[in-house]
Amino acid sequence: MGLQNAINGIPLEWYLIVAAALFSIGLYGVLARKNAVAMLMGVELMLNSVNLNLLAFWRYLAPESAAGLAFAAFVFVVAAAETAVGLALIIAVYRSLKSVDPETLTQLKL
Amino acid sequence: MTLQQVIFIILAIAVIGSALFVVTTSNLFRGALMLIVAFFGVAGFYVLLDNGLFAVAQVMIYIGAISILIIFSVMLTRGMQAMIPRNAQAGSVAIAAALLFLILLLAFGPFRLVVDLSGVPILSALFRTESARVLGGVPWQFANREVPETYIADFGRALVDLNQFLLPFLLVAFLVDAVLAGAIYIARQRKPAEVIAEREAIAKEEAEELAALQPQPTAPTLPQGAIASTADH
Amino acid sequence: MNDFLPIFVLLVLASGLVSLVLLISVLFGPRRRARNETKLQPYESGMRPIGPAQRRLPVRFYLIAVLFILFDIEVVFFFPWAVALRELGWAGLLSMLIFIGILEAGHFWLWRRGALEWEKMDK
């Protein structure tokens, strides 16, 4: 444990703590915001923290394996895809309701 | 403290600080700009992890594409500059997020809390393996090796290798195709009337905002000697 | 990692220079408070603003930005493949051609459907 496994002088735990903080902040952003675009920003922060974890584990535990890199690359693509579709939906909702507050989306309620 | 550690701490402060700004600001445009700072900081972490390829990819995809999309959609919808920053359950959500951070900190941080679940009746059955039963006590199998010089080429080889990631790689292309078609289909106005209606709505909003910008018709009292010709040209 | 040290130094220098310049202008600049509304207008020359700076944009800009993602993702996957191209040979070229083919199929479909037309939607 400790500094003997540190890479560039940084132990793995530092990355895990930063990623955990980023994930928690993103979770707060997703759940506590009143605006759909702001919620999407929270999702982006959470995806970033997951990717940071993936690449930190790749570096510390399996630097020769391409699997860690491939997973992180696919997370990139899925994040871009999710943003594009999510924002398109928000724009479509805004056009018909003139609002981006998710609490106004109650058309499916009986 | 080495230079890398100093850089790490600077990056961590920048990332966490800008992320906190992003989730609390009431001006969403500024929030989107601070999101770019957070993305850039994460790219810096990738550099510290000896992964220049992904640092560049992070800058290209997150800053170059995703942030642009977010900024565009902020500018496409009105009233984002001043909005209510949080909803009714924000307080309890903040407590839940803080708790989550605490749990993650205790589970994976440097002061790992080791909880032995083998004595607990139901949980010990749920977690089968010995290492999973001791929460937080999982020893990482550190490699203690340098990243190979050829890691980019290795990654490229793995991507087009049928036995490795060729199939997911091609599926990614299909995903991107579907996303493009779907996003454009959803966001696009299909009727010319909608385009005209949007244009008129924007013109109306701008006229309103412009009226709010103009100085009041009751001319401000210019002090003696001030430039008199600023009134109307 | 050391390859990126110049970039970090550049970042530190750039942000340091900007904050220094701002600090100097705050310290030595004239600090007269604006006394009238004319002084607070965007253009002090008397030119009236013709619209707000942060205006709402038409949706068409978003559609172009979404198309940009396609090429962005292509490039990120091109790079590691291009580094390994020589050892991959024809098989690597073929797999990448399939990848490009799938993406370009979507691109051409959108093209045919008129997603790239700017003026057509105006009629």
Disruptive mutation site among C62, C64, C78, C107 for chain B (greatest number of B CBs within 10 Å) = C62
Query: Smallest CA–CA separation between C66 and chain A, in Å?
Result: 6
Whether residues B33 and B98 share a domain: the answer is no
Q: What is the CA radius of gyration of chain B?
A: 27
**Mean pLDDT, rounded, for C24-45:** 73
* Count of other CB atoms within 10 angstroms of residue A26: 26
Q: Output the pLDDT for position C37.
A: 65
Whether residues B132 and B162 share a domain: the answer is no
For the cut 60, the answer to whether the pLDDT of residue B133 exceeds it is no
Q: Output the pLDDT for position C24.
A: 92
For the cut 60, the answer to whether the pLDDT of residue B132 exceeds it is no
Q: Output the pLDDT for position A1.
A: 41
| Residues B106, B113 contacting (CB under 8 angstroms) | yes
Q: What's the CA gap between C63 and B72, in Å, rounded?
A: 10
Whether residues B74 and B130 share a domain: the answer is no
| Residues B76, C56 contacting (CB under 8 angstroms) | yes
Q: Do C82 and B156 touch (CB under 8 A)?
A: yes
Nearest to B210 among C49, C69, C95 (CB): C49
Note the pLDDT tens digit of each residue in B49-98: 888 889 989 999 999 889 988 988 888 776 655 667 777 788 888 898 89
Whether residues B10 and B59 share a domain: the answer is yes
Q: What's the CA gap between B168 and B173, in Å, rounded?
A: 9
Q: What's the CA gap between B6 and B13, in Å, rounded?
A: 11
Q: Output the pLDDT for position C38.
A: 65
Q: Output the pLDDT for position B225.
A: 47
Chain C residues whose CB is inside 8 A of the B47 CB are 1, 4, 7-8
For the cut 70, the answer to whether the pLDDT of residue C118 exceeds it is no
Q: How many domains does chain B have?
A: 3
Q: Do B4 and A9 touch (CB under 8 A)?
A: yes
Tell whether C59 is within 8 A of chain A (Cβ): yes
CATH code at position A97: 1.10.287.3510
Residue B118 phi/psi, 5-degree rounding, is -65, -20
Strand, coil or helix: what is B47?
A: helix
Whether residues B12 and B63 share a domain: the answer is yes
Which of B112-116, C13-17, C57-61 has maximum average pLDDT?
A: C13-17
Task: Determine the residue type at C16.
Answer: G
- The answer to whether residue A33 is domain-embedded is yes
Q: How many domains does chain C have?
A: 1
Query: Smallest CA–CA separation between B173 and chain A, in Å?
Result: 9
Handedness of CA B59, B14, B11, C16 (dihedral sign): positive
Residue B58 phi/psi, 5-degree rounding, is -60, -45
Domain that holds residue C99: 2-122
CA distances from B229 to B205, B226, C46 (A): 30, 9, 8
Whether residues B37 and B74 share a domain: the answer is yes
CA C88 to chain centre: 33
Q: Band of the pLDDT at B228, cuts 50, 70, 90?
A: very low
Tell whether C118 is within 8 A of chain B (Cβ): no
Note the pLDDT tens digit of each residue in B195-221: 777 777 777 777 777 777 665 555 455
Report the range of poorest mean pLDDT among A53-62, B127-136, C33-42.
B127-136
Written as one string, the DSSP assignment of chain A is -GGGG-BTTB-HHHHHHHHHHHHHHHHHHHHH-SSHHHHHHHHHHHHHHHHHHHHHHHHHH-TT-SHHHHHHHHHHHHHHHHHHHHHHHHHHHHHHHS---GGG--TT--
Top pLDDT among C26 and C19 is at: C19
Whether residues B114 and B53 share a domain: the answer is no
Whether residues B70 and B22 share a domain: the answer is yes
Q: How many domains does chain A have?
A: 1
Residue B110 phi/psi, 5-degree rounding, is -70, -30
CA A81 to chain centre: 13
Q: Output the pLDDT for position A2.
A: 43
pTM of the model: 0.81
Query: Smallest CA–CA separation between C19 and chain A, in Å?
Result: 27
For the cut 50, the answer to whether the pLDDT of residue B188 exceeds it is yes
For the cut 80, the answer to whether the pLDDT of residue C91 exceeds it is yes
Chain A residues whose CB is inside 8 A of the B82 CB are none
Chain C residues whose CB is inside 8 A of the A80 CB are 69, 72-73
Chain A residues whose CB is inside 8 A of the C72 CB are 80
Q: Output the pLDDT for position B16.
A: 94
Whether residues B161 and B127 share a domain: the answer is no
- The answer to whether residue B32 is domain-embedded is yes
| Residues B72, A88 contacting (CB under 8 angstroms) | no
**Mean pLDDT, rounded, for A23-28:** 93
Note the pLDDT tens digit of each residue in A34-88: 888 889 999 999 999 999 999 998 888 888 888 888 899 999 999 999 999 998 8
By C-alpha distance, which of A30, C12, A66, C6 is closest to B47?
C6
Chain C residues whose CB is inside 8 A of the A95 CB are 59
The DSSP output letter for B160 is: T
Domain that holds residue A36: 2-104
- The answer to whether residue B54 is domain-embedded is yes
For the cut 50, the answer to whether the pLDDT of residue B230 exceeds it is no
- The answer to whether residue B51 is domain-embedded is yes
Nearest to C69 among A73, A80, A95 (CB): A80
Domain that holds residue B39: 1-80
Give contacts of C 10-49 with B, CB under 8 A.
Answer: 35-38, 41, 44-49
CATH code at position C28: 1.20.58.1610
